[in-house]
Amino acid sequence: MCAASQGLGRAAARALGADGARVAICSRRPDAIASAAAAIARETGADVAAFDADLSRPDGPARVVQQTVDRFGGLDVLVTNTGGPRSARFEALTDEDWRAAFDALVLSVVRLSRAAVPHLRARGGGRIIHITSVSVKQPVDGLMLSNALRAAVTGFSKTLASELASDGILVNCVAPGFTRTERVTELTEATAAREGVGADVVERRIVGQIPMGRLGEPHELASLIAFLASDSGSYVTGTTIQVDGGYVRSVF
């Protein structure tokens, strides 16, 4: 479970641990990921291993996958997750912004999947689950990098699902909407600062666009991930499922 020191990654790791999985989690912050591992183990009774890794670097993904296999003897489920890129409009973004976001959002997922597939195949199948964003179905204003690059992960996932189905490896994306996480708080505050209004004003505007009338909670996305990772999700592959309170208005 990637980027699991807080937010959606931590909630997903907790849900998998509560379902009886042995869980490896990683983050760029050694102290934070060690603390998260201890808390998840205490709350669920799961065997939790913590690794520090920068998944935007070329060597990070393969290293953390190998550490997981060395620790647990194999790999059954890969859940990819990345922190959100810079929030900005198109004209404010440089080539370096695009390169950094591509490394973090796209190449990290490609490299993690490349490292994981041989181990999943050796187990006779498994799951790859990518946490993306509701922006892959309905772009969010001001999130040019996320809107463009998370959609690339969706196309990658759909193609990979077709290629790996005969190996019993199921590949899906989960797309969180506006959820009460540190990332959404950060985006809300950045928007408020740009507009010269209070963060509460921005949050009320966001909530006003959600038919359920509230932000999501991390455990609600985590429950879907646990389902897809379980035997109950054995005939679901190549899809993107949003958890958004009805925010996306499209039919598909």
Report, as an integer, the average pLDDT of 212-240. Answer: 97
pLDDT over 90 (residue 43)? yes
Provide the pLDDT confidence category of residue 252 given band limits of 50, 70 and 90. confident
What are the domain boundaries of the chain? 7-177+219-243
CA gap 248, 245 in Å, rounded: 8
- Domain covering 7-177+219-243, topology: Rossmann fold (3.40.50)
- Reference 55, options 121, 113, 108; nearest CA is 108
Nearest alpha-carbon partner for 73 in 49, 92, 44: 49
pTM over 0.85: yes
Q: What pLDDT, on a 0 to 100 scale, did the predictor assign at position 139?
A: 94
CA distance 79 to 230: 13
Positive or negative torsion for Cα 138, 219, 12, 199: positive
pLDDT digits 0-9 by tens, 78-98: 999 988 888 888 999 999 999
**pLDDT, mean of residues 130-157:** 95
In the numeric block, the tokens 């993904």 are attached to 61
- Span 194-213, pLDDT tens digits: 889 998 899 999 999 999 99
Residue 190 has pLDDT above 90, yes or no: no
In the structure, what pLDDT confidence band is assigned to residue 241 with cuts at 50, 70 and 90? very high
Output the pLDDT for position 215. 96
* CA-CA-CA-CA torsion sign (174, 175, 179, 183): positive
| Mean pLDDT (the chain, rounded) | 95
